[in-house]
Amino acid sequence: MSLYFEDVEVGARFTTASHVITEADIADFCRLTRDHHPLHTDEAYAKRAGFDGIIAHGLYGLALMEGLKTELKLYEDSSIASLGWNHVRFVHPMGAGDEMHVEMEFTAKRESRTRPAGVITETVWLLFPDRSPAISAEHVSLIQKRD
């Protein structure tokens, strides 16, 4: 399924598959971003800071949100660009072994002012299995109109 601007219905909701965060995920994100802060690499340090163990980067969670959404293939043939993330809140830490999924809702849409396309806004949550949030955010995208 690929949604074009005309297909987007404000209020429509989608839920992704889940992903279990691993220590390797956290280590890979450290390596890719060069962010080796001890909260993400040193269990004793993280425990002294009040966590159960090392925690995932908040930005890893944000990237995971986009990856899980991409697996839905909502914009497989229609995506032009991400215009940005707004109101990002890291609500609860995530660690190795945590199972996460995304729920998203279309909250707005409008015609692009600069090209024959549409701007869509989604509210997006990265959730634990009990639906409590780890991250909440708003994502704005530019997508194609149908020919």
Q: What is the pLDDT of residue 60?
A: 98
The whole-number average pLDDT for the span 90-101 is 98
Instruction: State yes or no: pLDDT of 128 exceeds 90.
Output: yes
Q: Which amino acid is at 32?
A: L
CATH code of the domain containing 121? 3.10.129.10
Sign of the CA dihedral with 115 first, then 77, 138, and 95 last? negative
pLDDT at 1 (0 to 100): 74
Cβ neighbours of residue 59 closer than 8 Å, sequence gap 6 or more: 29, 33, 35
Report pLDDT digits (tens) over 99-114: 999 999 999 999 999 9
Domain count across the chain: 1
Res 147 pLDDT > 90: no
What tens digit of pLDDT does each residue of 52-81 get? Answer: 999 999 999 999 999 999 999 999 999 999
Residue 93 structure tokens? 């830490």
| pTM as predicted | 0.93
Give the long-range contacts of residues 34-37, CB within 8 A, separation 24 or more: 35/59
Question: Could you tell me the residue range of the domain that residue 52 belongs to?
Answer: 5-144
pLDDT tens digits, residue range 35-51? 999 999 999 999 999 99
**Closest by Cα among 33, 87, 39 to 60:** 33
Judge whether 60 and 68 are in contact, CB under 8 Å: no
